[in-house]
Structure 1
Amino acid sequence: MSATDMTVALPLPDTFLSALEEAEREQPEACMVLRAVRSVSGEILDFEWLWANPAASRALGREPTFLRGRRLSEVSPADGLAGRLDVLRQVVASGQPRADNFAEGDVLLQSTAVPLRDGVLVRLRDVTSAQRMEEGLRDTLDWVRDVLESMPDAFFTVDTEWRLTYVNRNAAALTGRTQETLFRRVLWEACPELAGTPLERSLREVAAEESYRLFELRTGRDRWHEVHAWSSGRNISAYARDITDKKRVQAERDALLAREHSGRLEAEALAQRRTHELMAARERLVQSEKLAMAGQLAAGVGHEINNPLSYVAGNLQFAVEQLTPLCRRAGAGPAFQAALDEALEALREAREGAERIRVIVRDLQTFARADELRLTPVDVHAALEFGVSMAMTHLRSRAQVERSFGNVPHALAHEARLGQVFLHLLINAAHAIPAGDFASHRVTLTTRREGAWVLAEVSDTGQGMTPEVLQRAFEPFFTTRPVGEGSGLGLSICLGLVRSMHGELTATSIPGMGSTFQVRLPVAEAVAHPRLPAVREAEGPQRKRVLVVDDEPQLTSVLRRILGRQHDVVVAHSGREALALLEQDDDFDRVFCDLMMADLTGMDVHAELARRQPEVLSRFVFMTGGSFTERARAFLQGVPLPRIEKPFEPGLLHALVDASPPRTGGARRQTTTP
């Protein structure tokens, strides 16, 4: 019979205590017998020791002989066994055993009290180490849980029935569920989407073989995890590490290797293509150098062409004027009349050809003067027409050119640069339109005035530009044309040219519907030019004296033919000859003087006359063939005298003579016309 089942009436016999001492002497647990100490009224006031085994003596730090007969409150502190007085009273009163824990100093004891007659049998077991181990284990579990919850990887465990025994927050997040909804549920029921996947097959292999598996799993459209799964006792554990970045790097590396492999295969073709491109670029550079040289030569060539062209056009005009009255005379035979008409028609066609040559030379000279920086009033419509004439070879097979010109004033600009801008914009519009559908496409030229600005727009019905392309349209070296077909500098150069004229170039575009480029230029302020006095018709035609100074005999000859029927024309074939003549006879109504001559230039003649005969200068008109030195440019800018370009129209010559200023010199002196 055990001690917890005894109920012995007190006083306990010595044989019982001897047997108890014999049985409990070697026990590691403390064992003692306490007898209730009552008051007169029977209330339990304390307990006293009847017996204690060696283990109890060691636990209480007292000898057995010292304990026997001692009261509980005399030996144990109030927070130790003595503090269990109420518990012991309840055991005696109820006759039921009680177990609880308490501290005796630094030792944690587990107490079991069994009732005896008017006393208790108390067993004490030291549970300090067990308690510390339990607390340590609990702290360890908390730490492990914190580690698993804070790790960036997903982790979960399942038991042999595939119930989730643990799942961290990252693993729950992968399933789109909470930890509470997953815990203690069968994995395949909680996450049915995992059934039949590589994850299920690998986990079942780990469970069957009690082994380890490492595999990659696609957990999203662009997301990958590296999964480690192993068997640990009766559980299966798995954690998944996000390797999306690693897979992306691998994919980029594989793509790079593939490109390198492809590049090696295409290296020879690429080298050949680059060789062709370099050859084409070299050819374009040669052409560019040729154009630059042509621009430098254009001024001189234009001057040389204009001089003979002047007397060719003048003589043709004179011949037409002379033959026209003859065609109207009666009495001539039919054959003679037909031949005369045909000759006159041939002369008119030759005159038209000469006019076309004049326009071509003028355009060449416009390009030749592109490096001049002086801004002057420019007719925007004339600049647009120049661009159309130069770009017509590109436009002819692609689009119709429509004009919507408003009544606009002259713009303050540079004639040559503005012509280059319009030329490039028109060529750019032509390239935006596919060839072969002329009737369906249009290039529209529009002009209007907005306040202090003159606006000119070039619109096309081409393919247009996307917002991304439009944003970079004026960026240097940006082009959408194939390699070798465009440098990407055209629009950026145009922007620079327009800004150099204090204007602005902008663009709008709609993909598939076309583009519009708008040039904004400041309005030219009214410039005071010397005005020629109007001819007084009431006075009737008046014969005047005219001096022509030019080193081209044919040119002076044609001027004499044109003006000689109405006026007296005197010719000087050099600047020195003109000065000598004017010194003897300055009684001329109008002096036409060439600006650039071999001996003395028109500028030298002007300088000499300004020194000795300044009153003659008001009657001067300078003739130019379009070739200007720096000195000539400065002279024309600083001298407010009329200027006419070769070849000139006969009507202009007559108008200048008729509008000549009144002479302020002496009496009119008659001279013989040479």
Structure 2
Amino acid sequence: MSTESTWAERLVTQQLGFLEIIENIPDVIVIVREDGEIRFANAHAAHTLGAPSASRLMGRNFIELLAPEDRERCRELLAERQARPADGGCAVLRLLREGREPAVVEASLLREIDLDDERSLLLVARDITEEQQLRLRLQLANQLASVGTLAAGVAHEINNPLSFVSAALVFVQESMTELVTHPAPELLSEVKQSLVEALEGTNRIRDIVRDLKTFSHSAPEVGQQADLRAAAGWALKVTAHQLRHRCTVRQELSAVPPVAGNEARLGQVLVNLLMNAVQAFPEERTAENHLRVATFTESGKAIVEVEDNGRGIPPQHLAHIFDPFFTTKPVGQGTGLGLAISHAIVSEAGGEIQVRSHSSTGTCFRVVFPSAAPAPARGEVTGPSPQPSRALRLLIVDDEASVGSALKRALSRNHEVVTTTEARQALERLRQGERFDVILCDLMMPHMSGMEFYRVLQEQFPAMARRVVFMTGGIFTDAARAFIAQVLNPMVEKPFDRDHIEAVLSRLAPSD
């Protein structure tokens, strides 16, 4: 056998060996033309895409196998690779799979190759679908743990005022018969005091619920601004029951410039930092544990500091505290995501988290944000306004009949009030010729929402659409948030403040 024949056999053997390796690599490997047409695909590519075999992928366009929103990114990746073959490239893409959720892959272009004397591109994609799902589950577990901690504190904070609200109302109810038959001054005084206490308790519960609304997650919006001091104050409120049993808190909350970002998400960051501080305090020396929370301005930047005199962070751990899944807590007591998520939220808002720590002095987290330009204020009533110059005819639309009844009792002294529990009934009244000066409409209702009602008004009664005041107990859907951001109509939150509603009506009262 000739030397050339021996080398040829070895070359064929090596090629077959390489082909076997490629076929068994647990990654998607494809060779594509410049336009994305597949010239080679390994078995794992067929498996990932749900194709019966790799041969079925030949001639198909790899770009068209991607989710539509990822196709342009892939074209850019191919173009960049052709333009700068030595630079490489990488992108997270979603491969469409028949009858299944898309596979999330991390795609890299390794090199240009000549296949049958034609320039092609070798692309390798690693399936990270399960990795992403695991990350999302761990993030959810971390959020649920935070919610559980907060829920326990909220229950404690609500139960205190609820206990004396309930007791006061029971006393008033039991005293009514005696007041009617024997109106003793002493009993009347006690009933009045009980009602004052009940009102105070309901106001406290209202404030707690309003604080909770801040915690409801909403995605950051372009141009959104936040009050860092308000976020710090909220975080201190919702963690108050945890803090009061473990340390003494010193608040130094000064006004700071507005910052870019979502106030709820920044509040979540501060809750994480506060809970980390609580866990750093030794339980056996509660009287000596001190926590300082401060907001201030330095060199034009808005800053919040959370400083404790707890155990401190070991020097060898400082470089890793923001790494995902890094934790020094025992198994089952921490996911290692709290600080990583906080770091991501702050970075997304253009800020940074700094930390200094020593075992003898404790830890100080400093969150620094560049100030944002003041946002244009939404046209809402924030202060007292004069009462309407005349009585108005009001239509209240709320699917909770008791809400309409309560509002009617509160406003009937000054206005004529009509109530209905159906937006469709309200429209029918208007179509029959009834006229109202102002409509107070609940935002979220079954059958026809306040948003749908408003759109019909715009088409059929455009002048009336401008006189709608929206009522809400909480905006918890993306559609509702987008709607409220677009319309210019006033909005009032439940539970209602009568003076505030009167101020809103004063603004909308038609001129004589």
Class of the TM-score when normalised by the shorter of the 2 chains: 0.5 to 0.7
> In the alignment, what sits opposite 1:488?
336
Structure 1 residue 294, shift from structure 2 partner: 7.8
Q: Please give the alpha-carbon distance, in whole angstroms, between the structure 1 residues aligned to 2:339 and 2:246.
A: 21
Higher gyration radius (CA):
1
CA-based RMSD of the aligned residues comes to 3.8
State the 1:402 CA deviation: 0.9
8 Å CA contact 1:534–1:659 kept in 2: the answer is no
For 1:286-339, what per-residue CA distance to the aligned partner results, in whole angstroms no more than 9, with x for missing partners? x949938989xx9xxxxxx9xxx9xx99xx9xx9xxx9xxx9xxxx99972222
Match of 1:639 in 2: 487
Contact preservation (8 Å) 1:466, 1:510: yes
Aligned pair 1:291/2:183, yes or no? no
- Structure 1 unaligned residues grouped into runs of 5+: 1-283, 299-304, 669-674
Residue 527 of structure 1 aligns with an amino acid whose one-letter code is P
Q: 1:540 to 1:618 in 2, by over 3 A?
A: closer
Cα displacement string for residues 650-669 of structure 1 (whole angstroms, at most 9, x for unaligned residues)? 22112111222535xxxx8x
Q: Does 1:652 align with 2:505?
A: no
Residue of 331, 341, 347 corresponding to 1:499: 347
> Where does 1:154-303 land on structure 2 (aligned, <5 Å)?
288=141, 291=144
SS at match of 2:466: helix
Q: 2:465 — aligned with what? A: 617
Q: Deviations over 1:593-630 (max 9, x none)?
A: 10111121111111111112212222211111215333
CA contact (8 A) 1:405 1:446 kept: yes
Contact conserved, 1:400 with 1:442, CA < 8 A, in 2?
Answer: yes
Paired amino acid for 1:379: D
Q: In structure 1, what is the equivalent of residue 375 of structure 2? A: 526
Cα separation, 2, equivalents of 1:292 and 1:463: 23
Q: How does 1:417-496 map to 2 (within 5 A)?
A: 417-450=265-298, 453-496=301-344
Matched residues, number: 353
State the secondary structure of the residue aligned to 2:239. helix
Cα distance, 1:366 vs. partner?
3.7
Residue 581 (structure 1) aligned with residue 434 (structure 2) = no
Asked if 2 retains the 8 angstrom alpha-carbon contact of 1:589 and 1:657, the reply is: no
Q: Partner of 2:184: helix, strand, or coil? A: helix
CA distance in 2: counterparts of 1:540 and 1:549, whole angstroms: 21
Q: Is the 8 A contact 2:385 2:503 kept in 1?
A: no
CA distance in 2, matches of 1:620, 1:641: 6
Alignment deviations for residues 391-422 of structure 1 (CA, whole Å, 9 cap, x no partner): 23332232111111112233332132122111
Structure 2: distance between partners of 1:440 and 1:333: 58
Partner of 2:418: 570
Q: 1:635 to 1:469 in 2, by over 3 A?
A: same
Q: CA deviation at 1:465?
A: 2.6
**Does the C-alpha gap of structure 1 residues 631 and 534 become closer, same or farther in structure 2, counting only changes over 3 Å?**
closer
Q: Deviations over 1:64-103 (max 9, x none)?
A: xxxxxxxxxxxxxxxxxxxxxxxxxxxxxxxxxxxxxxxx
In structure 2, distance between residues paired with 1:586 and 1:495:
56
Which residue pairs with 2:357 in the alignment? 509
Distance verdict in 2 for CA 1:413–1:348, change over 3 Å = farther
Cα 1:457–1:292 shift into 2, 3 Å: closer
Question: How many Å separate the matches in 2 of 1:543 and 1:561?
Answer: 15
1:372 aligns with 2:225: no
CA contact (8 A) 2:289 2:309 kept: yes
Amino acid of the residue matched to residue 623 of structure 1?
M
CA positional deviation for 1:487? 2.8
Residue identity matched to 2:239: A
Per the alignment, residue 337 of structure 1 pairs with 185
Give the Cα separation in 1 of the matches to 2:202 and 2:463: 37
CA distance in 1, matches of 2:211, 2:381: 28
Q: Secondary structure at the match of 1:659?
A: helix
1-side partners of 2:368 and 2:230: how far apart? 16
Rounded to whole Å, the distance in 1 between the matches of 2:396 and 2:359 is 61
Matched AA of 2:440: F
Cα distance between partner residues in 1 of 2:142 and 2:338 = 17
User: How big is each residue's C-alpha offset from its partner over 1:504-558, in whole Å with a ceiling of 9 and x where there is no partner?
Assistant: 2221223311211122234342224225598875x98532232211121110011
TM-fit CA distance, 1:496: 1.1
